[in-house]
């Protein structure tokens, strides 16, 4: 690759998704997803079980072929990534498998050989802190240990794009905090872009710069985490209340009345209709917002 | 100041950057942070609380623009020398605006005449 091609490739967004569609056996899983990831950003992907988070992550990496739409990773089509781009990506699946005949150390050595920027001291440090023994055959690792080993690999390769599917589900709280720290400092120091799907909403609230909420095949919420929190609220209204501008969800309450989630434009006031109902907007944490708009 | 003095609630509805600015405001107003006292680095705060460093930078930047903090060359952020200087009256009044609006709204909900509410408020203010 010549110098011009290198500079063009590195100037391309880590990830660009346009109009992504995917069906499985007649069921629409992704129904027109648009997404852009900036360098150094940490995107938290949320969604209920079966919402299609893993399908989306797989499509981003070219592991699943979409029915329509386009995914570009560092400027290249996801279905035909060159080795140069593949080396800049690290993916940790929810249930890693394969290479069961190897020991943890042999597997890491294999990985080290395929990534030019492999950082052995970092791998050694994480192995020690996460209590992994290199002699252990992969087949004897518990699911949690196998996931930790995959995370060691993903952090040691110094990827420019890290894609993590439920990375913290099997980690204890201390190891989880450490993982979060490693991720945000990579994003800060190396400009690594991170996508992680997680049901641990509090973890995402710690480190995510951006949030995408996948629901019914669409990204129902997408944007900066801080802005999402400042621009969404719940209001309690009489059951007869007319639909409000920016209304996202409405739920009937026992004993009459409705709970409505509304969105406003950043920096703008809430709809004036609220005053007529004497309704006070209640600000929401990410988990409450998630539950209100997906249930 | 130690990074652990900040109390971060990631799951709160209030964004973390605002939590940090509000806590700095209170710690400085109450004198728990003295003028000239150094703040922990962005890295230390982000590392201790496992939060995004950009969030801490954003909070420090806002606190700096509000005159709570000042950047000392080569040392990082410190509590501004004049951070406790009394603010102009208009600014202090602006801080009271949300509470006044809430009071007015509640008085309306209770269908209380304005002059009675103002009488009560005057008594409280002149106490």
Measured between beta carbons, which residues in chain A are less than 8 angstroms from residue B43?
A: 185
Co-location of A48 and A161 in the same domain:
yes
CB contact under 8 A, A206 and B12: no
- Note which residues in 36-65 of chain B have CB less than 8 A from chain A: 43, 46-47, 49-55, 58
Domain that holds residue A177: 3-216
Categorize the per-residue pLDDT at A227 as very low, low, confident or very high, splitting at 50, 70 and 90.
very high
Domain presence at residue B84: no
**Does a structural domain hold residue B24?**
yes
The per-residue pLDDT for A56 is: 94
Within 13 Å of residue A38, how many CA atoms lie on the same side as its CB?
9
Indicate if A234 and A284 belong to the same structural domain. Answer: yes
Q: Which residue in the set B18, B47, B105 is minimally distant from A181, CB to CB? A: B47
Cβ proximity of A263 and A232 under 8 Å: yes
Identify the domain boundary among A216, A242, A266: A216
Together in a domain, A29 and A174: yes
Report if residue A221 sits inside a domain.
no
How far apart are the C-alpha atoms of A114 and A215, rounded to whole Å? 36
DSSP code of residue A12: S
The count of structural domains within chain B is 2
Hey, which residues does A263 pair with through a beta bridge?
A: A232
Instruction: Give yes or no for residue A285 having a pLDDT over 80.
Output: yes
- Of the candidates A206, A283, A284, the beta carbon closest to that of B51 is on A206
- Across the interface, which of A209, A282, A286 has its CB nearest the CB of B52? A209
Residue A256 sits in the same domain as residue A143 = no
Closest chain B C-alpha to A253 CA, distance in angstroms: 22
Q: Which structural domain, as residue segments, surrounds residue B15?
A: 3-79
Domain end marker among A162, A195, A216: A216
**pLDDT surpasses 50 at A9:** no
What tens digit of pLDDT does each residue of A101-146 get?
899 999 999 999 988 899 999 999 999 988 899 999 999 998 888 9
pTM score of the predicted model: 0.84
- pLDDT tens sequence across B39-72: 999 999 999 999 999 999 999 999 999 999 999 9
On whether the CB atoms of residues A269 and A292 are closer than 8 A, the answer is: no
Report whether pLDDT(A28) > 70. yes
User: Do A163 and A236 share a domain, yes or no?
Assistant: no
What are the structure tokens assigned to A222, written together?
């997408």
CATH code for position A136? 3.40.50.300
pLDDT value at position A74?
A: 95
ipTM of the complex: 0.86
Please, what is the end-to-end C-alpha distance for chain B in angstroms? Answer: 37
Of A177, A208, A284, the CB nearest to B13: A284
How much of chain B is helix, strand and coil, in % rounded to 5?
55, 5, 35
Whether B64 maps to a domain, the answer reads: yes
Record: contact B16-A209, CB cut-off 8 A: no
The per-residue DSSP string of A85-148 comes to HHTTEEEE-SS----TTSBHHHHHHHHHHH-TT--HHHHHHHHHHTT--TTSBGGGS-HHHHHH
Q: Does A172 touch chain B (CB under 8 A)?
A: no
């Amino acid at each position: 690759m010549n110098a011009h091609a290198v500079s063009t490739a590195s100037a391309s967004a880590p990830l660009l998704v346009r109009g992504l569609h995917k069906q499985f056996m007649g069921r629409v899983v992704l129904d027109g997803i648009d997404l852009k990831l900036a360098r150094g950003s940490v995107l938290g992907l949320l969604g209920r079980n079966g919402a299609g988070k893993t399908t989306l992550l797989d499509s981003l990496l070219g592991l699943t072929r979409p029915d329509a739409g386009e995914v570009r990773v560092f400027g290249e089509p996801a279905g035909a990534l060159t080795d140069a781009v593949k080396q800049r990506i690290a993916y940790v699946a929810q249930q890693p498998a394969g290479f069961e005949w190897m020991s943890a150390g042999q597997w890491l050595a294999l990985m080290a050989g395929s990534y030019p920027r492999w950082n052995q001291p970092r791998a050694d440090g994480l192995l020690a802190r996460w209590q992994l023994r290199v002699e252990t055959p992969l087949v004897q690792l518990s699911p949690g240990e196998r996931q930790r080993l995959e995370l060691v690999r993903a952090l040691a390769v110094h990827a420019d794009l890290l894609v993590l599917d439920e990375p913290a589900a099997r980690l204890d709280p201390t190891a989880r905090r450490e993982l979060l720290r490693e991720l945000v400092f990579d994003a800060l120091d190396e400009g690594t872009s991170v996508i992680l799907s997680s049901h641990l909403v509090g973890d995402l609230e710690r480190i995510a710069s951006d949030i995408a909420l996948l629901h019914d095949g669409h990204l129902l919420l997408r944007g900066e985490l801080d802005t999402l929190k400042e621009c969404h609220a719940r209001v309690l209204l009489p059951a007869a209340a007319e639909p409000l501008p920016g209304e996202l969800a409405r739920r009937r309450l026992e004993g009459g009345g409705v709970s409505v989630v509304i969105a406003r434009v950043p920096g703008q006031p809430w709809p004036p209709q609220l005053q007529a109902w004497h309704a006070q907007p209640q600000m929401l944490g990410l988990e409450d917002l998630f539950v209100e708009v997906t249930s | 100041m130690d990074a652990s003095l900040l109390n971060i609630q990631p799951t709160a509805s209030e964004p973390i950057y605002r939590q940090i600015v509000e806590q700095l405001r209170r710690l400085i107003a109450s004198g728990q942070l003295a003028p000239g006292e150094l703040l922990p680095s962005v890295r230390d705060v982000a590392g201790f609380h496992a939060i995004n460093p950009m969030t801490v930078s954003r909070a420090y930047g806002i606190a700096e623009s509000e005159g709570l903090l000042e950047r000392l060359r080569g040392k990082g952020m410190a509590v501004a020398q004049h951070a406790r200087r009394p603010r102009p009256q208009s600014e202090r009044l602006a801080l009271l605006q949300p509470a006044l609006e809430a009071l007015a709204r509640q008085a309306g909900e209770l269908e209380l005449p304005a002059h009675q509410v103002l009488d009560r408020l005057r008594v409280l203010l002149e106490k």
